[in-house]
Structure 1
């Protein structure tokens, strides 16, 4: 293993000892591989990197067509790595000291209307209630409907939802505690429709003979592991297509989280309350939904006002 790779691995180990989560370390590993690969192809070593070299690297990323968020993240990794190398005495200077963090533009997220959301959820419930299907298929569709209701009812992230314990339903599931980003806990609500959907899913799973005492959402055939994020994404996309939504390829579990926040705001909910429910540390992150609400209002005027199309 090269000295550069050893130093990079040492930095990752230092992060792991700190507060960085496993998922964060994995992402940093990908970013490091990209950076070290570029240095190697350019005949450079970490100890010889200059500010001009970094400019060349970021130009390379842009030329490759990487998304703005990816470039910003890889820029942050480079800044942090070189700061650590200098602080630990592995480099005589910090070539990234002059790099400013990129100010990422905030794109207004894609959000379903209330009617579209109801059509999406109704489609999932109709599949679970189809008596012509076998028990396995009905249980799988019931799990799907319950997960969708949980996401829309609470605004949870998909990573939080698929890790919900079975004990959520112990106290009628009206409010429960979850552990979110940064290992921070918050209380989130569940509507009665979500609770009923969860109970149906659990009863069908039990009837099929597989019910997990640990996980709320799990495979119909195996209760030892929680439902995967990839399975949830697939189920959402398939249901969006079956519901006849206009842009099914853009519907994801996170879109249901956006719908939760936007629909609350549209109905007069306080922005601070939405921030707490979503688990946002910065109110600025939550404010994106005010732009969504404004955009929807403008679209409505343009469609419905007599002079809108003039």
Structure 2
């Protein structure tokens, strides 16, 4: 593979400057890329001149690292080589020779039905009056667990997304993709109590000053509620409630494709992670519903 007249360190800094200028990468991201790239260069020498045999050294050097760490380091190098290829610094991409660890997607944490009930009981008791703060917490809880919204989707909901006639929210998810999300009758009822007492003059359903409630504040409110409900604060987050929404729907017999649509997943492989938590129900379903379930074994 052809090398470069410029040193490897200079090329790395050029690449990092591009990340900052063209992609708006944060300072912490730039620092992480620099560590990974310079660490790889310490092992194989000039990265721009490294060939397949050189890159094989990385697999041995990274052998004791966690798969996720190896994946991150390889990703940094692939992007670096893609940049060099675009710039004409190298004539062939050595990226395919980089280590590709098999990473396992972490299993989602969930709340069981009893914990969800305790959380709602606490929130409902606190929201019996018309005080805005507890009503807001109850509405957010209803939409996180009842509709499976992401934290960012929830806090940034515009007031115009609230259903008038049809029981649906229009949600803008990742990548700017809009989807329709059903809203339970319970949530509609609490929304009708929340809207008259919320801060007026804001375009957001959950206003905070001139903007909307932050994700950080949402996390804090949920953890405080969990503590009052006797649930360890470490066990709860907006994403845990979204996981519970998905898992409990599967337990109730929801179709995986329907769940994919409700969660706004672009790839059903992302949705399939929820199937592991329902294995006991699936075994029971086969034993109870399969045509051979009631047929006795012959002697």
| TM-score, scaled to structure 1 | 0.74
In structure 1, the residue matched to 2:167 is 174
Q: Is the 8 A contact 1:166 1:212 kept in 2?
A: no
CA RMSD, 1 decimal: 3.2
Distance in 2 (alpha carbons) for counterparts of 1:170 and 1:107: 35
Q: Is the 8 A contact 1:152 1:259 kept in 2?
A: yes
In structure 2, the residue matched to 1:304 is none
Q: Does residue 159 in structure 1 map to residue 167 in structure 2?
A: no
Distance of aligned partners of 1:73 and 1:160 in 2 relative to their CA distance in 1, 3 Å threshold: farther
- SS of alignment partner, residue 170 of structure 2: strand
When the two structures are aligned, how many residues end up with a matched partner? 272
Distance in 1 (alpha carbons) for counterparts of 2:125 and 2:49: 63
In structure 2, the residue matched to 1:280 is 265
Q: 2:221 aligns with which of 214, 235, 258?
A: 235
Distance in 2 (alpha carbons) for counterparts of 1:144 and 1:74: 40
Unaligned runs of 5+ in 1: 17-21, 299-310
Unaligned runs of 5+ in 2: 1-8, 284-299
Distance in 1 (alpha carbons) for counterparts of 2:250 and 2:242: 13
Of structures 1 and 2, the larger Rg is shown by: 2
Q: Does residue 270 in structure 1 map to residue 270 in structure 2?
A: no
- SS of alignment partner, residue 97 of structure 1: helix
Distance in 1 (alpha carbons) for counterparts of 2:44 and 2:100: 26
1:259 Cα shift? Answer: 0.9
Q: Is the 8 A contact 2:44 2:55 kept in 1?
A: no
| TM-score, scaled to structure 2 | 0.77
Q: Is the 8 A contact 2:163 2:169 kept in 1?
A: no
Q: Does residue 8 in structure 1 map to residue 16 in structure 2?
A: yes
In structure 2, the residue matched to 1:80 is 79
Distance in 2 (alpha carbons) for counterparts of 1:240 and 1:152: 14
In structure 1, the residue matched to 2:297 is none
Q: Is the 8 A contact 1:150 1:156 kept in 2?
A: yes
1:122 Cα shift? Answer: 2.2
